[in-house]
Amino acid sequence: MMEKKNTLLKVKGLKVAYGGIQAVKGVDFEVQEGQLVSLIGANGAGKSTTLKAVTGLQPVADGSIEYLGKAIKGQGAWDLVKQGLVMVPEGRGTFTRMTITENLLMGAYIRSDKAQIDADIERIFGIFPRLKERRNQLAGTMSGGEQQMLAMGRALMTQPKVLLLDEPSMGLSPIMVDKIFEVVRDIHAQGVTILLVEQNASRALQIADRGYVMESGVISMSGDGRTLLNDPKVRAAYLGE
């Protein structure tokens, strides 16, 4: 009999409204320890809004959010980062006038273990050799793909228990998309639990333990990644088949 993993994140009946529009209409999903969960759907389906609500960046109209077995609805992003719930936002949000190294150090602002911080920066440079080559370069002078790597590296410096990635491949070249998905897979293999929001449904489901399909603010389908990847409805709607 398989051992049941701990549920790190549990969302039930989540509703989010802004500007008089209900963007998320009663969403349920969960992320278990060690999983890579992909939330896919078309642009405007409510995926990013869901992540913002979970991480305290968007007010919640109704529903519950539990993290590590405790209710966190209404807590600020700052408090949630300290508890290990960390998001890499769409658009990356790097500090453009700081160097790569300074950006990574900003990811460790809640920590005081200097020797371990230095070791973690070297670990990030091992994952992203391109960042190491350019460690003294200003973030604002880097390409979109390099800034995405930096944003992911900075999030890893917080030592997350659950890492939420919002559209990490958006706007990147095909080669850089390959690199980003390779890194997501590697980070997951190192034991980090990941919730991935992604429009590139095929790539997201290929690496997912579990997937959820979101349409017009509701979850329309769920299952393990491979099952959804091979589902005719998903293939027709999101994979152009």
- Residue 40 forms part of a structural domain: yes
DSSP designation for 68: T
Q: What is the pLDDT of residue 92?
A: 72
Q: Distance (Å, rounded) from C-alpha 140 to C-alpha 113? A: 28
The reply to whether the predicted model has a pTM over 0.85 is yes
Please check whether residue 226 lies inside any domain of the structure. Answer: yes
- Confirm whether 80 is domain-assigned: yes
Residues 146-191 pLDDT 10s: 999 999 999 999 999 999 999 999 999 999 999 999 999 999 999 9
Q: Please give the Cα distance from 241 to 239 (Å, whole number).
A: 6
Q: How many domains does the chain have?
A: 1
Average pLDDT, the chain: 93
Residue 150 lies in a domain: no
Give the residue among 84, 107, 80 at the shortest CA–CA distance from 95: 107
pLDDT of residue 209: 97
**Confidence band for 55, pLDDT divided at 50, 70 and 90:** very high
Residue 113 lies in a domain: no
pLDDT at 181: 95
Percent of the chain beyond pLDDT 70? 98
Answer whether residue 208 is part of any domain: yes
What does the alpha-carbon distance between residue 149 and residue 182 come to, in Å, rounded to a whole number?
A: 11
What is the per-residue pLDDT for 43? 86
Please tell me the least confidently modeled range out of 54-58, 85-89, 235-239.
235-239
Within a domain: 37? yes
Give the Å distances, CA to CA, from 7 to 84, 127, 161.
14, 27, 12
Look at residue 2 in the predicted model and tell me its pLDDT: 45
- Helix residue ranges per DSSP H, 75-128: 77-82, 100-107, 114-127
**87-101 pLDDT, tens digit each:** 998 877 899 999 999
CATH number reported for the structural domain that contains residue 201 in this entry: 3.40.50.300
In a domain, 146, yes or no: no
Q: Binning pLDDT at 50, 70 and 90, where does residue 36 land? A: very high
The residue segments making up the domain with residue 86 are 7-90+160-238
